[in-house]
Amino acid sequence: MDKKKSSLFVGRWQLFHQGHKALMETVLKEGKPVVVAIRDMEIDHSNPFSTFERWSMIQKELSEYGSLVKIIIIPDIDEICYGRDVGYGIRKIDLEQQIENISGTKTRKELNITKTIIWLTGQSGSGKTTIARILQQKMNGVILDGDEMRDSISIDLGFTREDREFHNLRVARLAKVLSKNTPVVVSVIAPFDDARKKIDEIAKPFWVYVERNLPINENKPYQIPTNYHIKVNSDTQKIDEQVEIILSALSKHKV
């Protein structure tokens, strides 16, 4: 039986985002199988997701390709060596170009976005996650959602003021790493002003304050920010209007 040869993709995949998917789809859409090799790394601030979590992300994102995708775990390598006449081709794929070629979405260049980390702050229930998911789609980026981050990189933390700040700073460090390759939309409350200042020192995000008239919850304190780039209001503005306001402000923002 004549089996098709596969293309090999090796990486950390911390975390697996739409740029990675677009890269692999360059091959998959040709009907060619791919082998995704996950480097088995120790968890730290720069590599917050376990090997199993990354395996699950890749499986979910590429599930439509079925048996064309094979995922394997490899040791934490630091180089790939090859000699002459190795018997296979070596192809370089332009990741940025692949991201821009995703149909139906605008690119960072088209949106004239100069900030690649957008942080939505606001009380619980203000609408941050809904706005963030639409921004993620329009910007071909990744989203770091508060609840999902709690269940992954901050599963060991509680909800004291100190733990909340430590959680916020973990997310900020992860956002900074990811933003080297793709826009990052963060939907994390970041309730205290002193923590937001520390986030600024780490990641320098574009701050969006999502305002909404909500009852005060003493168990979930929130200091209303006074230092932000743009404010939207979930009581008076529809979701699409809020998103367009944010994108417009981003396009005009100068680093």
Q: Phi first, then psi: what are they for 91, rounded to 5°?
A: -115, 130
Q: How far apart are the first and last CA of the chain?
A: 57
Q: What is the mean pLDDT of residues 48-64?
A: 86
DSSP labels for 200-226?
HHHH--EEEEEE------TTS--PPPS
Please, what are the domains in the chain?
7-100 (3.40.50.620), 108-252 (3.40.50.300)
To the nearest whole percent, how much of the chain has pLDDT over 90? 42
Q: What is the pLDDT at residue 102?
A: 44
For the sheet containing 7-11, what is the strand order?
Answer: 7-11, 34-39, 69-74
Q: What is the pLDDT at residue 137?
A: 83
CA distance 52 to 56: 6
44 CB burial (10 A radius; 0-12, 13-18, 19+): exposed
- Model confidence pLDDT, tens digit, residues 177-215: 888 878 899 999 999 999 999 999 999 999 999 999 988
- Judged against a pLDDT cut of 80, whether residue 3 lies above it is answered with no
CA distance 28 to 108: 24
72 near 36, Cβ under 8 Å?
yes
Report which DSSP code applies to 62: T
Q: What is the pLDDT at residue 65?
A: 92
Which structure tokens are listed for 114? 């100069």
Question: Beta-carbon neighbour count of residue 51 at 10 Å?
Answer: 16
Q: What is the mean pLDDT of residues 136-164?
A: 85
User: HEC states along 108-135?
Assistant: HHHHCCCCCEEEEECCCCCCHHHHHHHH
36 near 69, Cβ under 8 Å?
yes
C-alpha angle 237/240/246, rounded to 5°?
80
User: Considering only 16-20, 179-183, 229-233, which range has the smallest mean pLDDT?
Assistant: 16-20
